[in-house]
Amino acid sequence: MSPSKAIDLSHHLSELSRSRIPSPLKDILKYMNEPGMISLAGGLPHPSLFPFSQVNAQIYAPDADLQSDDAASSPINIHVPKHASSSQTNTLSAALQYGSSYGSSTLSSFIREFTARVMTPGYSDFEILLNSGNTDAWNKVVNILCEFGDYILVEEHTYPSSQAVWAPMGCRGVPVPIDKDGLVPEALEAVLENWNETHPGVKRPHLLYTVPVGQNPTSATLSPERKKAVYDICVVYDVIICEDDPYYFLSFPPYVLPAQRQSLRKNALIDGLIPTFLSLDVQGRVIRLDTFSKTLGPGNRLGYFVCNPLFTERLLRATEVTTQAPSGWSQALVEELLLSWGQGGFLRWMVGLRDSYTARRDWMCDIIAENFDVLLSPEGIVDDVVAVRKSHGSTKDAVPFFSFSFPRGGMFLWIKIYLSNNVAYQDMKVANASSSDSTVTAMWTEAFWMDLIKEKVLLTPGSYYTPIVGMGKRMPQEPGVTFFRLAFSFESREEMKLGIERMTKVFERWWPVM
């Protein structure tokens, strides 16, 4: 059975979005393309007056070994001339001109084919709309769906910039617990099921913001079973899912210790890919945010929505009065790159990326295993493994420093530090008896972070990712535990090693051996 069309979800649109009217210039466009028409209507600058006459770029082959320096030795040339030659459709005169807010149709077609093939949307009339990257995209989603003061479902540790969009609108996050397998469906259901009791008279949240693969900051990757469960709950409670999925192709095989690791572990990409929310979506209630930021570079400021036609039309209206269109340079150069690579080449590029970031994940995990003893989690500590002081002997009674999961995707390792056995923490509690446990935990965290900085290693405090649950109000934090995020995406292996050695020193100092 072929998939059916999206259902009518127009009741989700914000008043602002409903009030947007198409530009009257659309009527003009209709006539402009009539054969023989002389148009004195458009206010376009003349392309002979653009100062660029051509641009050439060198790109890597899609299966270049990105971990080797040789990649640079075999570049492919792509070329965008000012005016069209016989075979060329992408020209600088077009790229530098005012463009449609839809963006390049060639690029959109390429993306549409890629999406149909790899993301397999569950309904038939999905559409693609280019945008200026996922921050821009999420802002536009909030713009078309949210009223001031709305509640928005978010992960219990969530991406700060996503909150910065809606917090000034007086919106509030409704945190949903996550663990290493992502959002907990039962917890989501409980929030929605009990909403009228917990929030009498208040509109139930109708938008879920989630980063399902390699979540920022926790690296949680939502399992297929949970994804299905979350989708089904959103159908029951009529919730729109915004699937912000920048790390989709950075989905890694499980971490294994170096001794057990095969020297070459090249899995087929498709094996590691988890079905998207979009693929489960038979109703058109998923707005998928895809971006080239993590795959071709954030500076492109180029991404795209995949969603139902009603939403793309309203997102287009929002685009016309804000960004107008992504940069013509970004569109032209990414288009030439992708046409040069082809569909298969783009996928092979993703394999290389995945392998590179898998290697980086392995570096970081290996280095942690070299500096700490890494144990299976004891009862009551829910993450995968616990790091304790390197003992070179029995670790049976070791005090847990922190627990973490070996990342299965993304760019981050998320550690949860346990303070109950920490002497400094206990001393702080005594010295600040009138303060709450959360306050003392925050004090401890700040002091510990400052000590890391003194030791010249910078981590991101987990508190940055705490949901905003009211104007200037954060979700209360569990006392006695604290979080940090470590990125394995950027530093070299040597720097990573040095950084984690410094971090180890600080841990060992803060848990002195009695």
Residues between 72 and 111 with contacts to a copy of itself, criterion CB under 8 A: 72, 75, 82, 94-99
Among 10, 39, 196, 343, the residue binding a copy of itself under the rule CB under 8 A is: 39
Residues 195-234 touching a copy of itself, rule: CB under 8 A, are 216
Among 1, 2, 11, 19, the residue binding a copy of itself under the rule CB under 8 A is: 19
| CA distance linking residue 181 with residue 325, whole number of Å | 36
- Residue with smaller CB distance to a copy of itself, 298 or 479: 298
Helix or strand run (H / E) with residue 108: helix 105-118
Residues 154-193 touching a copy of itself, rule: CB under 8 A, are 160-161, 164-165, 167-170
Interaction between residue 506 and a copy of itself (CB under 8 A): no
Among 456, 512, 513, 514, the residue binding a copy of itself under the rule CB under 8 A is: 456
- With b for 16 or more beta-carbon neighbours within 10 A and e for fewer, the 143-155 pattern comes to bbbbeeebbbbbb
Structure tokens at 150: 């709305």
Q: Which residues contact 319 (CB under 8 A, 6 or more apart)?
A: 101, 129, 131, 140, 325
What phi and psi values does residue 374 have, to the nearest 5 degrees?
A: -110, 120
| CA distance linking residue 258 with residue 367, whole number of Å | 11
What phi and psi values does residue 342 have, to the nearest 5 degrees?
A: 80, 170
Residue in the block written with tokens 């399902």: 212
- Residue with smaller CB distance to a copy of itself, 45 or 224: 45
- Residue with smaller CB distance to a copy of itself, 71 or 339: 71
Spatial contact of 387 and 401, defined as CB atoms under 8 Å apart: yes
Interaction between residue 475 and a copy of itself (CB under 8 A): no
Residues 268-307 touching a copy of itself, rule: CB under 8 A, are 293-294, 296-302
Helix or strand run (H / E) with residue 329: helix 328-371
Interface with a copy of itself (CB under 8 A), residue total 113
- Residue with smaller CB distance to a copy of itself, 214 or 480: 214
Among 356, 426, 435, 438, the residue binding a copy of itself under the rule CB under 8 A is: 356
Strand 303-307 to 460-461 pairing: unpaired
Partnered with residue 386 across adjacent β-strands are: 375, 403
Interaction between residue 372 and a copy of itself (CB under 8 A): no
| CA distance linking residue 116 with residue 107, whole number of Å | 14
- Residue with smaller CB distance to a copy of itself, 263 or 490: 490
| CA distance linking residue 492 with residue 22, whole number of Å | 50
Closest separation in Å from C-beta 223 to a copy of itself: 23
CA dihedral 218, 224, 225, 230 (to 10 degrees): 70
What's the gap between Cα 138 and its chain centre?
Answer: 11
Closest Cα to residue 248, out of 282, 225, 279? Answer: 279
Among 2, 11, 21, 197, the residue binding a copy of itself under the rule CB under 8 A is: 21
Instruction: Give the three-state DSSP class for 472.
Output: coil
Closest separation in Å from C-beta 413 to a copy of itself: 9
User: Is-cis flag, bond preceding 246, omega within 30?
Assistant: no
Partnered with residue 385 across adjacent β-strands are: 376, 404
Interaction between residue 412 and a copy of itself (CB under 8 A): yes
- Residue with smaller CB distance to a copy of itself, 282 or 367: 367
Interaction between residue 20 and a copy of itself (CB under 8 A): yes
- Residue with smaller CB distance to a copy of itself, 72 or 423: 72
- Residue with smaller CB distance to a copy of itself, 6 or 468: 468
What's the gap between Cα 511 and its chain centre?
Answer: 35
Query: How is residue 299 annotated by DSSP?
Result: G
| CA distance linking residue 468 with residue 113, whole number of Å | 38
Amino acid of residue 125:
D
Closest separation in Å from C-beta 37 to a copy of itself: 5
- Residue with smaller CB distance to a copy of itself, 44 or 433: 44
Q: Residue 165 region, left (φ>0) first, then alpha (ψ -120 to 50), else beta?
A: alpha
- Residue with smaller CB distance to a copy of itself, 52 or 265: 52
Closest separation in Å from C-beta 507 to a copy of itself: 14
| CA distance linking residue 346 with residue 58, whole number of Å | 16
Interaction between residue 471 and a copy of itself (CB under 8 A): yes
Interaction between residue 387 and a copy of itself (CB under 8 A): no
| CA distance linking residue 453 with residue 445, whole number of Å | 12
Interaction between residue 405 and a copy of itself (CB under 8 A): no
Contact segment (CB under 8 A) with a copy of itself among 17-25, 116-124, 188-196, 269-277 equals 17-25
> What x-and-dash track marks residues 308-337 binding a copy of itself by CB under 8 A?
------------xxxxxxxxxxx--x---x
Among 4, 10, 23, 89, the residue binding a copy of itself under the rule CB under 8 A is: 23
Closest separation in Å from C-beta 17 to a copy of itself: 8
Interaction between residue 26 and a copy of itself (CB under 8 A): no
Closest separation in Å from C-beta 95 to a copy of itself: 5
Among 5, 7, 13, 55, the residue binding a copy of itself under the rule CB under 8 A is: 55
Residues 234-273 touching a copy of itself, rule: CB under 8 A, are none
